With several copies, the nearest count.
Chain A
Amino acid sequence: MKEIETNFIEKVIDIMKDNELTEVTLEDDERSLYIRTSGFTPVVEISEKEDVIQNELLPEIEKTEEEKKKVIPIVSNMIGLYFSKPSPIAQPFVQVGDRVKAGQQICIIETIKLMNKITADVSGTVKEICIEDGKPVEYGQTIMYIEQD
């Protein structure tokens, strides 16, 4: 399939309007084009079957992709108990809204009385903390989300 041209998409949307069609799916071996017009604005999705395509002509999709890229989950690589602070009376390592640097300690996971120091992979801002203080955290569980700089 050749590059999908905007005027082709516009043409299809015109055809849909003329015929009061609400949905169109065009597909070949490499890509699929899906257009829905039943809302206020037409929704256009193009997906390449191997990879997501980069296309300046589709700013809405671009934005969502970008948004997703920026928020990074910090995932536990062990099972244990989550602690947000070094001691019960201390201040938390980080709180929602705090800025953190890559390598900065963000919490403790206790495994078999061993206090494991967990650090941020990236620099950015803490958007959400997903586990309550003192509760179990599993392998692969998201501890918090950091919005990357």
Chain B
Amino acid sequence: MFKKVLIANRGEVAVRIIRACREIGIPTVAVYSQADANSLHVSLATEAYCIGPNESSKSYLNIPAIISAALVSGSDAIHPGYGFMSERADFAEICKEHNIKFIGPSPESMQLMGDKATARKTMMSKDVPITPGTGILKNFEDAREAAKKFGYPVIIKATAGGGGKGMRVANNDNELEQNINLCRQEAEKFFGNPDVYLEKYLVNPRHIEVQIIADKYGNVVHLGERDCSIQRRHQKLIEEAPSPAVDDKTRQKLGEAAVRAAKAANYEGVGTIEFLLDKDKNFYFMEMNTRLQVEHGISEMISNVDIVREQINIAAGNSLSFKQEDIKLFGHAIECRINAEDPDRNFLPAPGEINGYITPGGFGVRVDSHVYSGYKIPPYYDSLISKLMCWAPNREEARRRMYRALKEYVITGVKTTLPFYQDLIENDVFVSGNFDTGFMNTYKKNK
């Protein structure tokens, strides 16, 4: 096992990783920006080093500072969490050069999955269903012919894009021409690579993702799917596991496809295969997230697997501690991301001091957070206050438990998304479970 793990992250995920290390018995090193001096991850870690000023670019994205902190502290592994350095193949490469284990997949796997066109090609070769699409577009004529074949709408995507950026939908030939040009320009500007490709665009599919975990010996196990269809501007708002739209048969097919996908990428570590699911229960590979996901906790709750513990375990060279047949999914879990945002003002970030804080508790309730009464939320990073997760034997009980927990949660001093979720969780369409990625376009508050 590792002698010491440096956590190159902040907030709740840094706390999550420190918890796992403490439970295994590994000393931890926190790194932090000046704005985060009073954050919980700093006090919970065995050691902590300030690595830079408030701005992420000079602290949590500052590769020399992070590596220097690892060397200074004698850390033999770095856990990148999610966001920040977690999908940076170059960072993984540098860790390797310094004999520091990057807790995540190899730089090669990351690159393979990071390049969308290549990822699609790889998936196709391993029988993982993908939406009909093209390779990198050479000219407009190719694009028009492909669009005719797939049928409009189609979506133009930058090969280097991600997280909803560098994508445009076209409903006819005119839009196609226009948007290909725009997309190229943006891709060049944001990602330094103008290559784009075309895909059949599914209108309001469900966003379904499968949690996988793979060791270096080629063993891959999936922990079932999560439904993340409810999004606002490509930001997930609420996640649940399992998906109300996935039956046992589809679940098995999804899981098997996800395992094939991970094997195709020669993947090691934890990861998520994102699929789009249409009304007829056809699913299509969308992309792979080569890191721990924000919403991993709900998969933990239905599978009883500690994903972060297992992630560290396999990064240290051990083989998976379970086989696919050991995984018995039970019950239903829902997650709400409680943010310091004003839902009445277009989810405007609302940093500030939390002056009153009472977390919900009791059976089936999990809170992952880095805040406390008196904590100042800095304005420099994301506005996540906590992840509130509720488990129960079935969806309706989990939903009611979530409602109870949301009502019990007290956060004063800053605006939060609590009232938004208290409303959402009681929304008829949400209650029915019959929703898709178009949910938020038609969502109206009850009250």
In the complex they form, do A and B come into direct contact, defined as C-beta atoms under 8 angstroms apart? yes
* A residues with CB within 8 A of B: 78-81, 111-112, 136, 138-141
Task: From known contacts A81-B72, A112-B71, infer whether A139 and B53 are also in contact, taking CB-CB under 8 Å.
Answer: yes
Q: Can you name 18 A-B residue pairings with CB atoms under 8 Å?
A: A78-B68, A79-B31, A79-B50, A79-B52, A79-B72, A80-B68, A81-B72, A111-B64, A111-B65, A112-B68, A136-B49, A136-B73, A138-B49, A139-B34, A139-B50, A139-B51, A140-B34, A140-B53
Is B67 interfacial (CB-CB < 8 Å)? yes
Q: How far is the CB of A80 from chain B (nearest CB, A)?
A: 5
B98 touches A112 (CB 8 A): yes
Additional A-B contacts beyond A79-B72, A141-B50 (13; CB < 8 A): A78-B68, A79-B31, A79-B51, A111-B68, A112-B68, A136-B49, A136-B72, A136-B73, A138-B50, A139-B34, A139-B59, A140-B50, A140-B53
**Total interface residues on B, using CB and 8 Å?**
17
Question: What chain A residues lie within 8 Å of B69 (beta carbons)?
Answer: 79
Q: How far is the CB of A118 from chain B (nearest CB, A)?
A: 14
The residue from A81, A136, A139, A141 contacting B65, defined by CB atoms under 8 A apart: A139
Question: What chain A residues lie within 8 Å of B34 (beta carbons)?
Answer: 139-140
Q: How far is the CB of A73 from chain B (nearest CB, A)?
A: 15
Q: How far is the CB of A39 from chain B (nearest CB, A)?
A: 31
Per DSSP, chain A at the interface is loop
Question: What chain B residues lie within 8 Å of A141 (beta carbons)?
Answer: 50
Task: From known contacts A111-B64, A136-B72, infer whether A79 and B98 are also in contact, taking CB-CB under 8 Å.
Answer: no
Q: How far is the CB of A69 from chain B (nearest CB, A)?
A: 23
Question: What chain B residues lie within 8 Å of A136 (beta carbons)?
Answer: 49, 72-73
Q: Which residue of A lies closest to B52 (CB)?
A: A139
Using an 8 Å CB-CB cutoff, how does the interface string of B86-113 with A read, 1 for contact, 0 for none? Answer: 0000000000001000000000000000
CA distance A79 to B72 in the complex (A): 8
Q: Which residue of B lies closest to A80 (CB)?
A: B68
Q: How far is the CB of A44 from chain B (nearest CB, A)?
A: 33
Question: What chain A residues lie within 8 Å of B98 (beta carbons)?
Answer: 112
CA distance A140 to B49 in the complex (A): 10
Task: From known contacts A80-B72, A81-B72, A112-B98, infer whether A138 and B51 are also in contact, taking CB-CB under 8 Å.
Answer: yes
CA distance A67 to B64 in the complex (A): 37
Q: Which residue of A lies closest to B59 (CB)?
A: A139
CA distance A112 to B68 in the complex (A): 5
CA distance A78 to B52 in the complex (A): 7
Q: How far is the CB of A131 from chain B (nearest CB, A)?
A: 12
CA distance A81 to B73 in the complex (A): 10
CA distance A12 to B202 in the complex (A): 79
Using an 8 Å CB-CB cutoff, how does the interface string of B38-81 with A read, 1 for contact, 0 for none? Answer: 00000000000111110000010000110111011100000000
Using an 8 Å CB-CB cutoff, how does the interface string of B17-44 with A read, 1 for contact, 0 for none? Answer: 0000000000000010010000000000
Q: How far is the CB of A115 from chain B (nearest CB, A)?
A: 12
Q: How far is the CB of B320 from chain A (nearest CB, A)?
A: 34
Question: What chain B residues lie within 8 Å of A81 (beta carbons)?
Answer: 72
Q: Which residue of B lies closest to A141 (CB)?
A: B50
CA distance A138 to B59 in the complex (A): 12
CA distance A95 to B365 in the complex (A): 52
Question: What chain B residues lie within 8 Å of A140 (beta carbons)?
Answer: 34, 50, 53
CA distance A138 to B42 in the complex (A): 13
CA distance A50 to B437 in the complex (A): 52
Question: What chain A residues lie within 8 Å of B72 (beta carbons)?
Answer: 79-81, 136
Question: What chain B residues lie within 8 Å of A112 (beta carbons)?
Answer: 64, 67-68, 71, 98
Q: How far is the CB of A112 from chain B (nearest CB, A)?
A: 5
Question: What chain B residues lie within 8 Å of A80 (beta carbons)?
Answer: 68, 72
CA distance A78 to B68 in the complex (A): 9
CA distance A112 to B72 in the complex (A): 9
CA distance A79 to B52 in the complex (A): 8
Q: Which residue of B lies closest to A113 (CB)?
A: B71
Q: How far is the CB of A82 from chain B (nearest CB, A)?
A: 10
Question: What chain A residues lie within 8 Å of B59 (beta carbons)?
Answer: 139
A78 touches B50 (CB 8 A): no
Q: How far is the CB of B117 from chain A (nearest CB, A)?
A: 35
The residue from B31, B65, B71, B73 contacting A78, defined by CB atoms under 8 A apart: B65
CA distance A38 to B92 in the complex (A): 64
Closest 3 CB pairs of A and B: A111-B68, A138-B50, A136-B72
